[in-house]
Amino acid sequence: MVISAEFLGMLLLITSAAALGLSIVVDVGRVSAEKAREAMNQRQYDKKRAALAEWRQKTERKRVDVTTLQARLTEFNGRRQKALTELRALEFSKIELVHELGDQDSDGDVYWAQLAVGSNFNELDRKDIVFSRQIWEYRNVAHITAPSAEQAHGTVRTSFSQRNGLISSPVVPLALAPDPEVEATAA
């Protein structure tokens, strides 16, 4: 069998066309795979971008919540401190230290005087202070047994003098002494 040049040319043309078609198909496959990969990467990028935007919104909301909670905490701490201060003042007003002066066995009258710290109390040396500094943070009163108010006043002045940084109220009979409960509610 003899192969003619036309047949060989035709065979070469068909083979070339088939090779060209195959190369086009391969290139189209590569391009479409690349496009599919690019589309998939774009979807992942968009998802991550949306997730990042959502996280930013959540972070912003949480930051606002934290700021609000910090403000409330500061407010409640202030209220707590105020309540503790008022409670301490109330405790101090309800505690009364009584100093008994004079001869308790005598049949003199009992007088009352309130004791408080003077303006120079904080500058005094520890040895000049009667008892301890801490007791003078509370309400201190003196019950004085004496035959007269003048003698009771003199006893208070000698026991608790301004040299010790203390001052006393006027001496009154114990029956006329103010009620500490009434004073605490008035304050």
85 lies in the same domain as 102? no
108 lies in the same domain as 77? no
% of the chain exceeding 70 in pLDDT: 92
pLDDT confidence of residue 140? 86
Query: Any idea which residue has 């003048």 for tokens?
Result: 150
- Domain coverage including residue 43: 1-94
Lowest-pLDDT range, 5-14, 81-90, 176-185?
176-185
Question: Is there a contact between 171 and 112 (Cβ–Cβ < 8 Å)?
Answer: yes
Is residue 187 situated within a structural domain? no
Q: Which residues lie below 8 Å from residue 159, measured CB to CB, with a gap of 6+? A: 99, 101, 130, 142
Selection from 16-25, 89-98, 125-134 with the highest mean pLDDT: 16-25
86 lies in the same domain as 118? no
Q: Are strands 139-146 and 166-168 parallel, antiparallel or unpaired?
A: unpaired
104 lies in the same domain as 69? no
The average pLDDT across 122-131 equals: 71
pLDDT confidence of residue 42? 96
Give me the chain's average pLDDT, please.
Answer: 85
68 lies in the same domain as 107? no
Number of other CB atoms surrounding residue 22 within 10 Å: 10
% of the chain exceeding 90 in pLDDT: 30
pLDDT confidence of residue 70? 97
Lowest-pLDDT range, 5-19, 85-99, 149-163?
85-99
22 lies in the same domain as 81? yes
User: From CA 82, how far away is CA 143, in angstroms rounded?
Assistant: 34
Question: Is there a contact between 152 and 102 (Cβ–Cβ < 8 Å)?
Answer: yes
Is residue 82 situated within a structural domain? yes
Name the residue with higher pLDDT: 73 or 183.
73
Domain count, the chain: 2
Number of other CB atoms surrounding residue 161 within 10 Å: 14
Structural domain ending residue among the three candidates 34, 67, 94: 94
pLDDT digits (tens, 9 = 90+) for 31-70: 999 999 999 999 999 999 999 999 999 999 999 999 999 9
Is residue 107 situated within a structural domain? yes
Q: Is the pTM of this model over 0.75?
A: no
Strand intervals (E) in 16-156: 96-102, 109-117, 139-146
